[in-house]
Structure 1
Amino acid sequence: MTAHMRIEKAMACLTQIVGERATRVPGILDGHGRSEAYHAARPPDVVVFPESTAEVKAIVGLCRDLRMPIVPFGAGTSLEGNAASLEGGVCLDISRMNTVLAVNGEDMDVRVQPGITRKQLNAHLRDTGLFFPIDPGADASIGGMASTRASGTMAVRYGTMKDNVLSLEVVLADGRVIRTARRARKSAAGYDLTRLFVGAEGTLGVITEVTLKLHPQPEAISSAVCAFPDLKAAVDTAISVIQSGVPVARIELLDAVMMRGMNLHAKLGLPELPHLFFEFHGSKAYVAEQAETAQALAGENGGLGFEWASTPEERSRLWQARDNTLYAGLALRPGAKAMITDVCVPISRLAECLVETAKDIAETGLICPVVGHVGDGNFHLLVLMDPEKPEELPRAKAFNERLVDRALSLEGTCTGEHGIGFGKIEFLEKELGEAVDVMRAVKLALDPLGIMNPGKIFKAPGQEGGHP
């Protein structure tokens, strides 16, 4: 069967399963080949919008029979080509699977379909006194966040997706539907399949339900920003706050270049110096105590005074500006695209990594605003490139490789939260060596035909090179 015949047969069968929710409209195909990544678009052959686990199971069975790739797609906010259709095939858009299936208030957990976004979930939970804290910035889908092991600004207090997913329902490549765990908060029952699929980027199966931990909405929330004379003073303050045991909910670093972009984009009017953004959760007395300690530590490192966001509207404006740092960075170079880096190091090595990186930026002449979840040692650079100047891409890639090598030399990782996709395959090999062969063995056992999001995380046996 030729590739064209296989696509036509798939489309005919998919129409029988989901009706008009299977499409080959060029604009829809193109939109599902793109993301926030700098990589070129890689569209699928067909996009299908399932609405139930039963439909996903039927679609997976069809793709297995036709030997067609399956690429799960959430909100399209990934940054390493995680949902690019490198070999065409069927893009499984789960955005219509966006129902809250059960809220268990007494147990503080919730069961949802994977297409619901984090903001939709928290809107549903607003009157329960509970919330879901993982905030990667973008309004990503819960399934996509689980698949990439996402984290974000509040990970320093509440952990990452791996800490907040209790159980998954997954459709495997052979069509079986499994549940990886029950709702109990702990279990020693066999292999930890939940954490196997959290971070697997759709390469082992399609997530169709997610059970999440919830947390009490804090009685009081207080946010503040503090400017510093230089990057090292800001980083030293963040390290002191964490090592002193101050349970901040968020502590975010923005360098002077990023502050310039934020002023351009969000009109914050803050000094164009390195800043820390803080948020404190708890009772009113507890929040005041935390804030006082953090403010004192900032003063010891040359902090130029806390500026408080005292009303909900001011806090929302502040953190919305932080969430939009991609667009703030792009405001520094209109028309540019951004390669977004994602290293993470032990917090004791963070200052060393950032100071050396700042020197590298100065020597290469790149525009690279910095933003980081410095409470857990994770930071990002937006390496701004002009798409009309193709010679800039090799410079950006070489800089990113030096950054990753620097992080690995400091016992860190090439990705704190974005995943591997196809953009960091070589870096994963550097980081974990023969452990990647163990991952390949798991992949082969669960997906012997190689139809689940092929070309991601590692190269298939016999694959030459990476992907552009």
Structure 2
Amino acid sequence: MAALNPIFDALADLRSFLGDRLSTAAPILAQHAQSETHITARAPDAVAFPNSTEEVARIAAVCASHAMPMVGWGAGSSLEGHALAVQGGLTVDFRLMNQILAVYPEDMLVVVQPGITRERLNLDLRDTGLFFPVDPGANASLGGMASTRASGTTTVRYGSMRDNVLGLEVVLAGGRVIRTGSAAPKTAAGYDLTGLMVGSEGTLGLITELTLRLHGQPEAVSAATCGFADIASAVDCVIATIQTGLPMARIEFLDAASVRACNAFHATTLPEQPQLLVEFHGSAAGVQEQAERFGAIAREFGGSAFAWARAAEDRNRLWRMRHQAYPAILATRPGATAYVTDVCVPISALAQAVLETQADIAQSGIMGPILGHVGDGNFHAILLVSHDNPAEHLAAEGLSTRMAERALRLGGTVTGEHGIGFGKLHMMAAEHGAAWTVMGQIKRALDPHNLMNPGKLVPQK
């Protein structure tokens, strides 16, 4: 019987120490088979809810002995199918490993478990005068953010997860536990295994602990919106701003269609034209100076007067509107699904990339608002399609592929923050060439039986 049903045997071994924290209930499996976009896959065979590194290591050892795939799960907010069990197996849900383990204010560091979300972390850090800055919009888990090398609205000032993860604890295939990095500000000791794991999307191991860099909460914060007559003027304003070295905390772009959707969804009244959403951090005098300098640049490109959001509740309302742009845009076409894609290009190529993408979308007939973290050259298109219209899906796939090809032609990347998963797997060879083969070799060295999140990121042969 054992030879005929290895999954049954694996689940029996897992249940021996997980008990009711191993689930095969249909609603739980269905929850872990969902994606926020058009990407779908089969459900896992089971879902485990570990509460310690030791349990994760035991899970990995059992899965290795039964050749059972393992897929990590944080908050389920990834967009390219990263956490879907394309080959079945076990989803490892880290929701119970959600604690702050230590805070070191003098060193501006925090040590956390992977299941804690960024919002919960910052809530708990309020009294320390410190905060964790990486803000992808979704209330994602820190383990998932590290696995996908997340970035977001504040990356232009504070960097991405690559810049803010100093060390990790990782369970490898087979159950071996390693530590990477340290609490030191820098190191010259050997391979950068922390950098290797950050962005590996769970294909090399399961993150069970993170040491993160914190930043001081700014003395003063001010945010504003500024409208422009057209996309070209708004994007050119961004390019000029970045090239002057102005230390923007956030500089976000919404096209007119995105603004229209956000107004309808949130009952706001932004002028329905391309908008920049900006934020300044620093001392009171510094914030005022930054705002004046940006205002002068914006006027050169025809920017309207600022609509300020100085009070905390007003700023929160503004950024909540930006972060909820995706459901707002989905609501403009009830019942639709979306191809949510992103690219990143050198700042000098941003205007060309955005304008060519806008023209391509307009010619396709697909609804596709454009928005993004343009301060670091990263922008998104949300391509709305009907569930049961194959022609629209085909058109959206073509738009997404051409958007990625355009980014590569301009010296950029096929994704600035969403990652690869299996949604953009077909673009990796074009971006990396022979280096993609090396990624596959690293994968085979650490996971020779292809158990860690198979079907994702690396060559599949």
Question: Same-fold call, TM > 0.5?
Answer: yes
* Stretches (4+) displaced over 6 A: 1-4
Name whichever of 419-428 and 58-67 sits farther off: 419-428
1:422 paired with 2:422, answer: yes
2-structure distance, mates of 1:164, 1:310 = 27
Alpha-carbon deviation of 1:390? 2.5
* TM-score relative to the length of structure 1: 0.97
Alpha-carbon deviation of 1:151? 0.2
Match of 2:365 in 1: 365
Match of 1:400 in 2: 400
Q: Is the 8 A contact 1:262 1:329 kept in 2?
A: yes
2-structure distance, mates of 1:210, 1:327 = 30
1:123-182 CA distances to partner (integer Å, 9 max, x unpaired)?
110100000000000000000000000000000000000000000000111321110111
The number of aligned residues is: 461
1:426-465 matches, within 5 Å, as 426-461=426-461
Q: Is the 8 A contact 1:250 1:277 kept in 2?
A: yes
Q: Is the 8 A contact 1:37 1:78 kept in 2?
A: no
Equivalent position SS for 1:75:
coil
Match of 2:168 in 1: 168
Match of 1:101 in 2: 101
2-structure distance, mates of 1:259, 1:328 = 9
1:275 paired with 2:271, answer: no
Alpha-carbon deviation of 1:41? 3.8
Equivalent position SS for 2:181:
coil
Alpha-carbon deviation of 1:42? 2.5
1:276-291 matches, within 5 Å, as 276-291=276-291
1:129-168 matches, within 5 Å, as 129-168=129-168
- Go from structure 1 to structure 2 and tell me whether the alpha carbon gap of 1:252 and 1:3 turns closer, same or farther (over 3 Å shift): farther
1:167-217 CA distances to partner (integer Å, 9 max, x unpaired)?
000011132111011110100000000000000000001100000000000
Match of 1:19 in 2: 19
Alpha-carbon deviation of 1:3? 8.7
Match of 2:321 in 1: 321
Q: Is the 8 A contact 1:52 1:97 kept in 2?
A: yes
Name whichever of 172-181 and 272-281 sits farther off: 172-181
Equivalent position SS for 1:279:
strand
Q: Which amino acid in 2 is paired with 1:106?
A: E
Equivalent position SS for 2:390:
coil
Equivalent position SS for 2:125:
helix
* TM-score relative to the length of structure 2: 0.99
Q: Which amino acid in 1 is paired with 2:416?
A: G
Alpha-carbon deviation of 1:268? 1.3
1-structure distance, mates of 2:258, 2:423 = 24
1:52-451 matches, within 5 Å, as 52-451=52-451
Q: Which amino acid in 2 is paired with 1:349?
A: A
Q: Is the 8 A contact 1:252 1:371 kept in 2?
A: yes
Q: Is the 8 A contact 1:30 1:41 kept in 2?
A: no
1-structure distance, mates of 2:396, 2:18 = 43
Equivalent position SS for 1:341:
strand
Match of 1:465 in 2: none
Q: Which amino acid in 1 is paired with 2:353?
A: C
2-structure distance, mates of 1:4, 1:300 = 72
Q: Percent identity?
A: 55
2-structure distance, mates of 1:257, 1:181 = 44
Q: Is the 8 A contact 2:2 2:9 kept in 1?
A: no
Unaligned 5+ segments in structure 1 are 462-468
Q: Which amino acid in 1 is paired with 2:223?
A: S
Equivalent position SS for 1:451:
coil
2-structure distance, mates of 1:194, 1:150 = 14
Q: Which amino acid in 1 is paired with 2:264?
A: L
Alpha-carbon deviation of 1:376? 0.4
Match of 1:466 in 2: none
2-structure distance, mates of 1:426, 1:434 = 14
1:206-247 CA distances to partner (integer Å, 9 max, x unpaired)?
100000000000000000000000000000111111111110
2-structure distance, mates of 1:433, 1:310 = 47
Unaligned 5+ segments in structure 2 are none
1:431-451 CA distances to partner (integer Å, 9 max, x unpaired)?
011100100110010000110
Alpha-carbon deviation of 1:37? 2.6
Q: Is the 8 A contact 1:147 1:198 kept in 2?
A: yes
- Go from structure 1 to structure 2 and tell me whether the alpha carbon gap of 1:102 and 1:302 turns closer, same or farther (over 3 Å shift): same
1-structure distance, mates of 2:4, 2:364 = 47
Alpha-carbon deviation of 1:280? 0.3
2-structure distance, mates of 1:238, 1:40 = 36
2-structure distance, mates of 1:425, 1:458 = 8
RMSD: 1.0
2-structure distance, mates of 1:335, 1:295 = 41
Q: Which amino acid in 1 is paired with 2:149?
A: R
Q: Is the 8 A contact 2:436 2:459 kept in 1?
A: no
Q: Which amino acid in 1 is paired with 2:246?
A: V
Q: Is the 8 A contact 1:231 1:355 kept in 2?
A: yes
1:220-278 CA distances to partner (integer Å, 9 max, x unpaired)?
00000000000000001111111111101000000000001000111111111000000
Q: Is the 8 A contact 1:24 1:45 kept in 2?
A: yes
Alpha-carbon deviation of 1:19? 1.0
Q: Is the 8 A contact 1:166 1:182 kept in 2?
A: yes
2-structure distance, mates of 1:208, 1:358 = 41
1:25-44 matches, within 5 Å, as 25-44=25-44
2-structure distance, mates of 1:132, 1:206 = 22
Q: Which amino acid in 1 is paired with 2:144?
A: G
1:18-61 CA distances to partner (integer Å, 9 max, x unpaired)?
11000100110011011213112421001000000000000000
Alpha-carbon deviation of 1:4? 7.0
Alpha-carbon deviation of 1:2? 7.4
1:356-387 CA distances to partner (integer Å, 9 max, x unpaired)?
11111111111111111000000000000111
1-structure distance, mates of 2:316, 2:282 = 18
